[in-house]
A and B are shown apart, each in its own frame.
Chain A
Amino acid sequence: MAKPLEEVLSHHVHTVEAPHKRHWLLDYLSTVDHKKIGIMYVLIGVFYLLVGGVEALLMRIQLFVPNNQFVSYPTFNELFTMHGTNMIFFAAMPLIFGLVNLIMPVQIGARDVAFPFMNAVSLWFTFVGALLVNISWFFGPAPSAGWFAYTPIGLDKYTPGTGMDFYVIGLQIAGFGSLMGAINFIATILNMRAPGMTLLRMPLFTWTSLVTSGLIVFGFPPLTVGLFLYMFERLFGGHFFDATMGGNPLLWTHLFWIFGHPEVYIVVLPAFGMISEVVATFSRKRIFGYTSMVIATVLIGFIGFMVWVHHMFTVGLGAMANSIFAISTMLIGIPTGMKVFNWLFTMWGGQIRFKPPMMFALGFLPTFVIGGFTGVMLAAAPADFQYHGSYFVVAHFHYTLIGGVVFGFFAGLYYWFPKITGRMMSEVLGHINFWLMFIGFHLTFFPMHLAGLFGMPRRVPTYNPGMGLEIWNQLSTIGAFIMGVSMIVFAANVVYAFTKGKVAGADPWDARTLEWAVPSPIPEYNFAQTPLVRGLDPLWIAKEEGSTVPAAEPLGPIHMPSNSFLPLVMAVGLFIAGFAAIYHRLFFIVLGLEVIALAMFYHSLNDDEGHHILPEESTRVREVRA
């Protein structure tokens, strides 16, 4: 199987790359290492989580008292539009992509993702897409038609100025990155699993990553098409959505939600995966009903595409359409319920340790269950006539998205932080972070159910006094600030980990999956020797035998891809082209596109075969980090 070292090296023009030290910044800007890319995704996600959080706090200040004048109505509209856009596209998505990038390849025993170069392209497209949407704050109006940008309100006629152009083009670029990333993950998971890792031996986080990637591949094209039509309508005066010119505004609504509903599962499924890993590890038990978990995951993926009309119960599609989509939506509750009970029975009979990752997973459970239940309530079409467009909906989707994605993500981040950085976070700060977030969260969002049922529509910058809405809004605002404080505690914990955190070692949590079999932080090549997988939870199997995970190959030189600045260059080109398109500067559009074309051309001709890491180096790393 393995060729002699001399023979391998003789095929390469560049033999062993001299281990010259690049400045860390240049290293990150040109990296194709899935772990560094993952870290950058997480940083993007956390950054926009904070941006979106500040936007939320400004809105909550405005709503603290009725008829408040803290921000103007148009500014408020910009705030909720950017809050939603940032949180979904530039916080949730990068956080998910970040952790999938960081962990998934290691969980399946791979040395990298299938297309490392494309992985970097995905990252930088996401980065410039987010940048483009957000710099709208500094270049004239920010987008203000809501994160789902309904037509015709988002069209030039009703929302003039460049704001919505930033939204349309920025999302198009970021979506491009997401689609490439998803294709990359699918190829990685299907092709690069270590010997012995059959599909039904994959960890659940990998499974959810796979299904999520599938959802992206089918879900993003409708968004792309919709945004393309939107762009034509706004920039070139097309009339796809203009009823006065024979178009139909519902065309956008359908296209958006055909993407938008699966998007919810795109971000929440990997969080389910993280919860599964954390619950199993901290109960010291194998996940209960692994096969039904896999089936539930796939089912959620499938049904997720058949429910989008439940966002449109009030647009007048009629009782028949509403009934069909009501029932298909309710069906989603069933695989989700299976998951919840499987988690509960994973803990049953286990030995539960209440460490910070487990706390977030436990906080996730009731929160997400409430979110799921209000989801079923919303699925009952005639009842939805009352909920639709009200604060009840705001409460519901924050229960699923914060209860699901954010709690799931924090569980995952506290869990894998030692693996990524080699340092332990503080448990005390972790518990404080959790409790502030959990209490703040419920204080913020539970009252919103009531505000909605008492007649408060969503997206309103103010409300009348004397309608019984004051108290609920005030509780929400106080809760939001408690959540804000919890994020400061989190930041403090990260600082603590890097300054005083204990060295983690390879397996600080007594975990079960392959990523805990390699040193922390994970070396560049992940596994010095590709592991041999003999069942679910390979590390646990090895530990039960009192040994280590066996290798599937002898120690040899490891082939790794080379760094490249081209992904960054391509993204910069797309940024220039997108920015120029917003301001109708043809010269710069062409210039930007040419930068991309040249970069791709150069990449095609550049015969770079990567480099090798020699066994001496990998042995040294293992000794140092173990």
Chain B
Amino acid sequence: MRPKHRIGLLFVMVGLLFGLTGCGRTDMSVFDPAGPVAKMELSVIMTSVYIMTGVFIVAMAILVYVLIRFRRRKGQDLPPKQVEGNNWMELTWTIIPLILMGILAVPTVSTAFALDQKQTGPNTMNVTVKASQFWWQFEYPDLGIVTAQALHIPVGTKVNLKLETTDVMHSFWVPRLAGKTDLIPGRVNTMWFEASQPGEYQGKCAEYCGPSHGVMDFVVIADTPQQFQAWVQKMKNPQVQPTSAQAAEGEKLFAQNCATCHAIAGTNFKGVLGPDLTGFADRPKVAGVLDNNPTDVEKWISDPAAIKPGTKMPKLPLNQQQISALSAFLEGLK
């Protein structure tokens, strides 16, 4: 291949970047923001992409021209003129980038400060996020609710997050709503975000945190204000009575095996080491990664470390019947 073909290939690839930004499933795409924070961040991203693409095209145009125009040809025995440099040209490619950097620096700094503000006013809400290997807890201090793995928020409300970790560093990332902020031992970090449209937004741990870092998922569920109020009421008065004999058996097993770690609001189960299981049946996922159906719940209980190596949840000495009973009990928690 000739060098110009190689450059052509590059242009095609850069073109792909733009062509494909709208492609693929967009569950986690930064290019499909669903709230003002992610929108502001995307706007800085696109500003930098435009500036950089412009410079890239100029530089590559020069390269392509040079490679075609100044190939060594037959009969060129005498060396070319030796040029030391050119002050004006060298100044040009110092000053123009300086100006471009200045153009990029303005939105960078203003957005940095805008994102750093704690949001106040009537339409705000506070949530404390506590991350542990390898799950997420969400506390609503003003509502007295604790939940895990799924963070419910009302649409159009600015959510102030306090971010804490119980063990190692983690990072809270919901690409369609907001970029990430780390959770660091001994520190409380803050961030805010808002969802403009109802929906489920996939979240990920983005700081390496151990064997199951890759499956430390969670979801942010943006409800309409009415849905959110209904959810809050349900969480405050959860249905905890077993609905079948099997579920009642499961409740007994839960008391014997699970209650030291897990809490369920409205019961005597007050464990704090593991995720709070109030309203378990309404969560979209089990352990953040499996579907919430009896099969997957049983799969999780029968060997948690097979799904999440390094998890603190032990493999309990239960038979299949007992596991099914536990699952039936959990699926009754609404």
Residues of A near any B CB (own CB < 8 A): 72-74, 77, 145-146, 150, 152-153, 158-159, 242-244, 247-250, 283-286, 288-292, 314-316, 318-319, 322-323, 326-327, 330-331, 333-334, 337-338, 340-342, 344-345, 347-354, 362-363, 365-366, 369-370, 373-374, 376-377, 379-386, 388-390, 435, 438-439, 442, 446, 449-450, 453-455, 457-464, 466-468, 471, 544
Complexed CA–CA distance, A555 and B50 (Å): 61
A315-B182, A389-B180 known; A353+B109 contact, CB < 8 A: no
Complexed CA–CA distance, A344 and B111 (Å): 35
Q: Which of chain A's residues have a CB closer than 8 A to the CB of B318?
A: none
A386 and B13 within 8 A (CB): no
Select the residue from B63, B97, B289 with max chain A CB neighbours within 10 A. B97
Residues of B near any A CB (own CB < 8 A): 1, 3, 6-7, 9-10, 13, 16-17, 20-21, 23-31, 38, 40-42, 44-45, 47-49, 52, 55-56, 59-60, 62-63, 66-67, 70-73, 76, 79-86, 89-90, 93-94, 97-98, 101, 104-105, 107-109, 111-113, 115-116, 133, 163, 167-169, 171, 173, 175, 178-182, 184-187, 189-190, 202, 204-215, 217, 289, 309-310
A460 and B112 within 8 A (CB): no
Q: Which of chain A's residues have a CB closer than 8 A to the CB of B31?
A: 453
**Would you give the shortest CB distance from A230 to chain B, in whole angstroms?**
15
**Closest A-chain residue to B101, C-beta based?**
A330
Q: Which of chain A's residues have a CB closer than 8 A to the CB of B72?
A: 284, 351-353
Q: Which of chain B's residues have a CB closer than 8 A to the CB of A446?
A: 13, 16
Q: Which of chain B's residues have a CB closer than 8 A to the CB of A315?
A: 182, 184, 189
B66 and A347 within 8 A (CB): yes
A286-B83, A383-B44 known; A366+B10 contact, CB < 8 A: yes
A243-B186, A457-B206 known; A286+B84 contact, CB < 8 A: yes
Q: Which of chain B's residues have a CB closer than 8 A to the CB of A363?
A: 6
Q: Which of chain B's residues have a CB closer than 8 A to the CB of A384?
A: 179
Q: Which of chain A's residues have a CB closer than 8 A to the CB of B169?
A: 150, 152-153, 249
B180 and A314 within 8 A (CB): yes
B182 and A319 within 8 A (CB): no
Q: Which of chain B's residues have a CB closer than 8 A to the CB of A354?
A: 3, 71
A319 and B24 within 8 A (CB): no
**Would you give the shortest CB distance from B226 to chain A, in whole angstroms?**
29
A383-B48, A389-B206 known; A334+B97 contact, CB < 8 A: yes
A158-B168, A376-B101, A386-B179 known; A365+B173 contact, CB < 8 A: no
A381 and B181 within 8 A (CB): no
Complexed CA–CA distance, A331 and B100 (Å): 11
**Would you give the shortest CB distance from A328 to chain B, in whole angstroms?**
11
Complexed CA–CA distance, A145 and B23 (Å): 34
**Would you give the shortest CB distance from B194 to chain A, in whole angstroms?**
15
Q: Which of chain B's residues have a CB closer than 8 A to the CB of A319?
A: 109, 112-113, 115-116
Q: Which of chain A's residues have a CB closer than 8 A to the CB of B180?
A: 314, 385-386, 388-389
Pick from B25, B44, B109, B168: contact of A323, CB under 8 Å: B109
Q: Which of chain A's residues have a CB closer than 8 A to the CB of B85?
A: 288-292, 342
Q: Which of chain B's residues have a CB closer than 8 A to the CB of A435?
A: 1
Q: Which 6 A-B pairs have the closest CB atoms?
A: A385-B179, A455-B28, A243-B186, A468-B24, A460-B214, A319-B116
**Closest B-chain residue to A544, C-beta based?**
B79
A74 and B179 within 8 A (CB): no
Complexed CA–CA distance, A153 and B66 (Å): 50
**Would you give the shortest CB distance from B137 to chain A, in whole angstroms?**
18
A340 and B187 within 8 A (CB): no
A248 and B186 within 8 A (CB): yes
B202 and A455 within 8 A (CB): yes
Select the residue from B173, B204, B208 with max chain A CB neighbours within 10 A. B208
A292-B85, A366-B63 known; A316+B181 contact, CB < 8 A: yes
Q: Which of chain B's residues have a CB closer than 8 A to the CB of A250?
A: 184, 187
Complexed CA–CA distance, A239 and B181 (Å): 25
Complexed CA–CA distance, A365 and B67 (Å): 12
Q: Which of chain B's residues have a CB closer than 8 A to the CB of A386?
A: 30, 38, 41-42, 45, 175, 179-180
**Would you give the shortest CB distance from A232 to chain B, in whole angstroms?**
18
A153 and B90 within 8 A (CB): no
**Closest A-chain residue to B28, C-beta based?**
A455
Q: Which of chain B's residues have a CB closer than 8 A to the CB of A242?
A: 185
**Closest B-chain residue to A443, C-beta based?**
B13
Complexed CA–CA distance, A454 and B24 (Å): 9
B167 and A152 within 8 A (CB): yes
A158-B168, A319-B116 known; A351+B70 contact, CB < 8 A: yes
Complexed CA–CA distance, A145 and B310 (Å): 14
B52 and A380 within 8 A (CB): no
Q: Which of chain B's residues have a CB closer than 8 A to the CB of A326?
A: 105, 108-109, 112
Complexed CA–CA distance, A314 and B205 (Å): 13
Q: Which of chain A's residues have a CB closer than 8 A to the CB of B48?
A: 376-377, 380, 383
A152-B169, A333-B97, A344-B59 known; A243+B185 contact, CB < 8 A: yes
Q: Which of chain B's residues have a CB closer than 8 A to the CB of A544?
A: 79
**Closest B-chain residue to A284, C-beta based?**
B79
A285 and B82 within 8 A (CB): yes
Complexed CA–CA distance, A348 and B65 (Å): 9
Q: Which of chain A's residues have a CB closer than 8 A to the CB of B83?
A: 285-286, 288, 345, 349
Q: Which of chain A's residues have a CB closer than 8 A to the CB of B42?
A: 386
**Would you give the shortest CB distance from A362 to chain B, in whole angstroms?**
6
A323 and B182 within 8 A (CB): no
Complexed CA–CA distance, A289 and B83 (Å): 8
Q: Which of chain A's residues have a CB closer than 8 A to the CB of B212?
A: 73
A314 and B44 within 8 A (CB): no
Complexed CA–CA distance, A520 and B166 (Å): 62
**Would you give the shortest CB distance from A540 to chain B, in whole angstroms?**
8
Q: Which of chain A's residues have a CB closer than 8 A to the CB of B3?
A: 354, 362
Complexed CA–CA distance, A31 and B115 (Å): 59
**Would you give the shortest CB distance from A624 to chain B, in whole angstroms?**
30
Pick from A248, A459, A468, A471: contact of B208, CB under 8 Å: A459
A468 and B80 within 8 A (CB): no
Q: Which of chain A's residues have a CB closer than 8 A to the CB of B79?
A: 284-285, 351, 544
Complexed CA–CA distance, A563 and B93 (Å): 50
**Closest A-chain residue to B187, C-beta based?**
A316
**Would you give the shortest CB distance from A535 to chain B, in whole angstroms?**
11
B185 and A249 within 8 A (CB): yes
Q: Which of chain B's residues have a CB closer than 8 A to the CB of A146?
A: 208
**Would you give the shortest CB distance from A238 to chain B, in whole angstroms?**
16
B67 and A442 within 8 A (CB): no
Complexed CA–CA distance, A384 and B171 (Å): 13
Q: Which of chain A's residues have a CB closer than 8 A to the CB of B182?
A: 314-316
Pick from B23, B98, B190, B208: contact of A150, CB under 8 Å: B208
**Would you give the shortest CB distance from A220 to chain B, in whole angstroms?**
24
**Would you give the shortest CB distance from A157 to chain B, in whole angstroms?**
8
Would you mind naming 25 contact pairs between A and B with Cβ atoms under 8 Å apart?
A: A145-B208, A153-B209, A285-B82, A288-B84, A288-B86, A314-B181, A314-B207, A316-B190, A327-B108, A338-B90, A341-B62, A344-B63, A352-B67, A353-B72, A362-B6, A363-B6, A373-B56, A383-B44, A384-B179, A388-B206, A389-B173, A455-B202, A457-B213, A462-B214, A467-B28
Complexed CA–CA distance, A314 and B163 (Å): 12
**Would you give the shortest CB distance from B264 to chain A, in whole angstroms?**
28
Q: Which of chain B's residues have a CB closer than 8 A to the CB of A322?
A: 112
A385 and B94 within 8 A (CB): no
Pick from A316, A347, A462: contact of B67, CB under 8 Å: A347
**Would you give the shortest CB distance from A223 to chain B, in whole angstroms?**
19
**Would you give the shortest CB distance from A88 to chain B, in whole angstroms?**
16
Q: Which of chain B's residues have a CB closer than 8 A to the CB of A145?
A: 208
**Closest A-chain residue to B11, C-beta based?**
A366
Q: Which of chain B's residues have a CB closer than 8 A to the CB of A462?
A: 214-215
B189 and A382 within 8 A (CB): no
A73 and B10 within 8 A (CB): no
**Would you give the shortest CB distance from B290 to chain A, in whole angstroms?**
11
A381 and B175 within 8 A (CB): no
Q: Which of chain B's residues have a CB closer than 8 A to the CB of A463?
A: 214
B104 and A380 within 8 A (CB): yes
A365-B63, A390-B206, A457-B173 known; A442+B108 contact, CB < 8 A: no
